[in-house]
Amino acid sequence: MVAAFNGCGQLLLLKRDQGRHCGGLWSFPGGKIEAGESAGAAAVRELYEETALVATDWRLLGSHTFTYPDRHLVFTLFSCRCTDPDAAICESEHRWVESAALADFPMPEANSVLVAMLAVAG
């Protein structure tokens, strides 16, 4: 998963399409790691595929496992900085959100720990 910041300290959230797992909820860019791919390479690839953004200052923040009724997921969270946030092209609705306002955006259950990791990282 990618916590993508703009130059104003805001984070990019994408609204998941209805019909997908956790549909209708706000989420970080990201997705499944492909065979033979590292977690870091997957983060860079997913950010680009979902937003067309290229970022710098990549940092590994940590890992977290979460079990939904139908799946067990392992998340690896990275942060990065987007130097040209206005260039974001997203298929789904997206918002740049202040960290303090994240609670206003309903997110998947697994994300509470990811948001806590962000708070710890500062």
Ligand X SMILES: Nc1nc2c([nH]c(=O)n2[C@@H]2O[C@H](COP(=O)(O)OP(=O)(O)OP(=O)(O)O)[C@@H](O)[C@H]2O)c(=O)[nH]1
Task: State the nearest-atom distance from the C-beta of 54 to ligand X, in Å.
Answer: 18
State in angstroms the smallest separation of the CB of 25 from ligand X: 8
For 116, the 3-state DSSP assignment is helix
Nearer to ligand X, 1 or 4 (CB): 1
Bridge partners (DSSP) listed for residue 71: 68
Q: Is 87 helix (H, G, I), strand (E, B) or coil?
A: helix
- State which residue, 27 or 76, has the beta carbon closest to ligand X: 27
Query: Residue 27 interacts with ligand X (CB under 6 A)?
Result: yes
1 neighbors 43 (Cβ within 8 angstroms): yes
| Range 84-103, binding ligand X (CB under 6 A) | none
Q: Are 27 and 14 in contact (CB under 8 A)?
A: yes
Q: Which amino acid is at 62?
A: G
Contacts with ligand X by CB under 6 A lie at 1, 20-22, 27-28, 30-32, 71, 73, 108, 110-111
